[in-house]
Amino acid sequence: MPRDQIESDAFVGREQYDPISVQDKWLPIWDELAPFRSGNADDPRPKKYVLDMFPYPSGDLHMGHAEAYALGDVIARYWVQQGFNVMHPIGWDAFGLPAENAAIRRNSDPGSWTYENIATQRASMRRYGCSFDWDRTLNTCDPEYYKWNQWLFLKMFERGLAYRKDSFVNWCPTDQTVLANEQVVDGKCERCDSIVTKKKLTQWYLRITDYADRLLDDMEQLVGAWPDKVLTMQRNWIGRSTGAEVAFEIEGRAEPVTVYTTRPDTLFGATFFVVAADSDLAAELAAGTSAEAEFMAYAESVSRVTEMDRLDAGRAKTGVFLQRFAINPVNGERIPIYASDYVLADYGTGAIMAVPAHDQRDLDFARTFDLPIRVVVQGESDPIETGIATADEGPHVNSGPLDGLGKTEAIEKMIELLAAQGRGHATVNYRLRDWLISRQRYWGTPIPIIHCPTCGEVPVPEDQLPVLLPDASGLDLKPKGSSPLGAATEWVEVACPKCGADARRDPDTMDTFVDSSWYFLRFVSPRRDDVAFDVEAVREWLPVDQYVGGVTHAILHLLYARFFTKVLHDLGLVDFDEPFRRLLNQGMVVMNGSAMSKSRGNLVRLSDELATSGVDAIRLTMVFAGPPEDDVDWADVSPTGAKKFLARAWRLAGEVATEPGIDPTAGNLELRRATHRALHDASTAVAAFRFNVAVARLMELVNATRRAIDTGCGPADPAVREATEAVAIMLSLVAPFTAEEMWERLGRVAPVALAGWPTVDPALLVEESVTCVVQVAGKVRHRLEVSPDIDEASLREMALAAEPVQRSLAGRAIASVVVRPPRLVNIVPASE
């Protein structure tokens, strides 16, 4: 290589890598090539489905989107390089409150705001180089989509899975609408942080509790494929407990009252009885007694207590003695009945037997009201003295036939005894409640039910779907506690489909979580207007091979989507019962340890970062920052470093001095080994979501190639081309623009995305020589360069002969020598 050639290469090395012009260059070409189109029916490649949780179109993309889509893209692009036909669709979760609030503010309609934002996000995603299949977009606010929400609702209605009931519901006073249990966080509205109150309303529910066992048990399939954290959260949320129902006779009442308990073995210790203050039963028991007035006042005060206050752990127990008595079925004791708000009306049967010695809440209540406390399970301490309820395993005392038994046997025995008398049986209970889906807002899917004075709840006939939202103009969208749709007279007033009489449409809209509970199915056939989804295409593409999204949806969305899938399975529309085979929860992008927000003043604008560093550098920064599930602290990472690395990789492509297609087998062996090692390690790492490690291996290869060009085999060695092409292909998962530009500079034809992952030659994964460490008593004292296939005996001999080894043995006798060719020898000296 002549001196001036090297200098001119060095000059090329110093030309500026300009990521922005590279982006502008490739975007229109990619539009043309559409490498990620997945809908070709003749495509022979095996299929994979990669799905990013679709965004809510609240404005332009932000740093969080940038991270999530960078990670999803690595997986999608990796599988494309591995020869799969990858469906990687995107859509918009486009119904919801922010659009309505924006419309009120701007005095326009929610639709125009929403569609403007969708257009903005779509353009940003394209510029971000997302490998989406643009033929498969969907918006949940399109009638073509929400028609199928209505259809699914009617299918559930037919099966009794959608029903109306009257009960106390969570009410957000700011948004002026009801909330599902899942949307109440720490007693506050998860959306606006207002303190949630209770309101008695008739609302639509989906019977998710019918599926509680399956939602719980089917998680077995997901162990190892979903983060443990998410599985745990779902298990906690479902909250299955096993126990027994026990019937108590009530003096002066014909029917007994059943209670639920997880500790039927403590029945002999039940010294009083409590019913939920807000239950119908409490009102009935109080009626006509001398306690009625006191109870009414108490019940009234309870209804004013917010969820927030109710959850306060240190709150003193309150209640009213109802002047009534229950009979303990095992010993015939008369025990007083109280009403209190520490018993929940909607869990179990809304009534409990109180065992103060062994339940802290009951003990607190007993001490407040001076009620008797009877120990029936021998414990370490005495609850009467300590005020701390005990929960020991036994043995039982003061419990007749249970005396001497441990907890498990005692529970069994008690259930037997109760069953023999027909007064009880084993049962299970769940923390999970049915899913309240009615919302008193405009921008959502109308509930396709017509209320007729004579026929009741009448489903809108299927051929009349969709029930379109009426035009928002002329409607008052301001929150006022009842649905804005109720005021759309012409829309609301319809003839009953059954009898033709004057009737009214249900004025509420559906919770937007309904929309996202099945959108992953719609992507297989987003333009079909005759079915919700093509059943045959679903069979081919689903379940989703890889789902990617934030842990914020660990309970809500994922539980609902699993529920819908099981319902669809029972309807015979899908043949699987879990929708997402693998789940990756990416962390958040934070700044200086806390979530970015305008008010905190630590907001980093994605558009600024893209302008200074370029798309690829931002994507690389996100991917390389650490394990994907960890938060990325923008203060800890270096987009500048990422940009430098990309320039370094790009420069290699300009220096390769051989033609495309040259046979690499004659090339420099050391560099070839590095190339194949990097390809192998990077695929393993990507498959295990260890993207940061894959990038590290790629950086090593770039470093090795740099060295080979500068001080090794030189740019004309075929191995340099092989290495640089491998760099471009690996880089295409993370930094598609730079990779494409490199590919072109290498004389190859775009798109690099379809280049295919190079085949790894296993022979090149074997090193020429390896470093063997020699330990004395477990401490490294010497290193030997040996052949990888060295035999045990000669390795042992070499190790023992080495001077530093002898020195540290210092004449001590050798007790044993552990030889693990070719990497390690450990010499264990005899102890003194």
| Contact set for RNA, span 431-470 (CB under 7 A) | 431
Q: For residue 424, which amino acid is it?
A: G
Q: Pattern 374-413, binding to RNA, x per CB under 7 A?
A: ----------------------------------------
d(CA 534, CA 538) in angstroms, rounded, equals 6
Among 191, 199, 310, 423, binds RNA (CB under 7 A): 310
Interface characters, 548-587, with RNA (x: CB under 7 A): -------x--------------------------------
**What is the rounded distance in angstroms from the CA atom of residue 225 to the CA atom of residue 645?**
33
CB of 425 to RNA, least distance (A): 14
Interface positions, 691-730, toward RNA (CB under 7 A): 692-693, 695-696, 699-700, 703, 706-707, 710
When the beta carbons of 176 and 787 are compared against RNA, the nearer one is 787
- Applying CB under 7 A, among 78, 533, 624, 743 the residue interacting with RNA is 624
Mind spelling out the 3-state secondary structure of 394-446?
CCECCCHHHCCCCHHHHHHHHHHHHHHHCCEEEEEECCCCCEECEECCCCCCE
Using CB under 7 A, which of 44, 762, 778, 811 touches RNA? 778
What kind and span of H or E run contains 791?
none
**Whole-number minimum distance, CB 684 to RNA, in Å?**
9
**344 part of the interface to RNA, by CB under 7 A:** yes
* CA 246/CA 353 separation, integer angstroms: 9
Cβ atoms within 10 Å of 629's Cβ, excluding its own: 14
Query: Which one among 134, 163, 321, 347 touches RNA, defined by CB under 7 A?
Result: 347
DSSP assignment letter at 452: E
Residue 324: how many other CB atoms lie within 10 Å? 19
Please, what is the minimum distance in Å from the beta carbon of residue 295 to RNA? 17
| Interacting span for RNA (CB under 7 A) from 117-125, 289-297, 505-513, 639-647 | 639-647
Binding-site member from 771, 794, 797, 801 for RNA (CB under 7 A) = 771
Given a contact cutoff of 8 angstroms between Cβ atoms, the answer to whether 298 and 291 are in contact is no
Cα–Cα dist 512/519, whole Å: 12
Considering only residues 109 through 128, tell me which ones interact with RNA, judged by CB under 7 A: none
**Pair 566, 211: CB distance under 8 Å:** yes
**Residue from the set 331, 779, 791, 792 that interacts with RNA by CB under 7 A:** 779
Output the DSSP codes for 151-174.
Answer: HHHHHHHHTT-EEEEEEEEEEETT
Residue 298 C-beta: closest distance to RNA, Å: 13
Q: Does 317 bind RNA (CB under 7 A)?
A: yes
Query: Residue 183 and residue 555: Cα distance in Å, rounded?
Result: 10
Of 149 and 203, nearer to RNA (C-beta) is 203
Which of residues 352 and 574 has its CB atom nearest to RNA in the complex? 352
783, 793, 797, 814: residue in contact with RNA (rule CB under 7 A) = 783
Residues numbered 260 to 289 that lie near RNA (CB under 7 A) are 260-263, 276
Which CB atom, from 657 or from 770, has the smaller least distance to RNA? 770
Half-sphere exposure of 554 (CA within 13 A, CB side): 20
Interface region with RNA, contact rule CB under 7 A, candidates 93-101, 115-123, 197-205, 771-779: 771-779
Q: Which of 321, 317, 328 is nearest to 363 (CA)?
A: 317
Rounded distance between C-alpha atoms, residue 356 and residue 363, angstroms: 4
CB of 829 closer than 8 Å to CB of 812: yes
Exposed, middle or buried by CB within 10 Å (0-12, 13-18, 19+), for 223?
Answer: exposed
Q: Which of 126, 423, 498, 648 binds RNA (CB under 7 A)?
A: 648
> Judged by CB, which is closer to RNA: 442, or 650?
650
Is 14 a residue that touches RNA (CB under 7 A)? yes
| Number of residues this chain uses to bind RNA (CB under 7 A) | 84
Region binding RNA by CB under 7 A among candidate stretches 28-36, 126-134, 413-421, 634-642: 634-642
197 lies in the binding site for RNA (CB under 7 A):
no
Q: How far is the CB of 612 from RNA (least distance, A)?
A: 14
| Interacting residue with RNA among 471, 630, 659, 797 (CB under 7 A) | 630
Stretch of 68-76, 408-416, 519-527, 645-653 contacting RNA, by CB under 7 A: 645-653
Q: Which of residues 239-258 bind RNA (CB under 7 A)?
A: 239, 241, 243
3-class SS letters over 541-577 = HCCECEEEEEHHHCCHHHHHHHHHHHHHHHCCCCCCC
Q: Note whether 747 binds RNA by CB under 7 A.
A: no
Q: Which of 689, 574, 694 is nearest to 225 (CA)?
A: 689
Q: Which residues contact 20 (CB under 8 A, 6 or more apart)?
A: 611, 614
What are residue 613's DSSP bridge partners? none
Q: Secondary structure of 620-652 in the HEC alphabet?
A: HHHHHCCCCCCCEECCCCCHHHHHHHHHHHHHH
Q: For residues 687-726, b (16+ Cβ closer than 10 Å) or e, as one string?
A: eebbbbbbbebbbebbebbbebbeebbbbebbbbbbbbbb
Could you give the CA distance from residue 267 to residue 269 in angstroms, rounded to a whole number? 5
Which range binds RNA by CB under 7 A, 37-45, 337-345, 653-661, 669-677?
Answer: 337-345
Q: Judged by CB under 7 A, which stretch of 50-58, 155-163, 358-366, 794-802 contacts RNA? A: 358-366
Span near RNA by CB under 7 A; candidates 169-177, 355-363, 599-607, 795-803: 355-363
Compute the least distance from the CB of residue 348 to RNA, in Å. Answer: 4
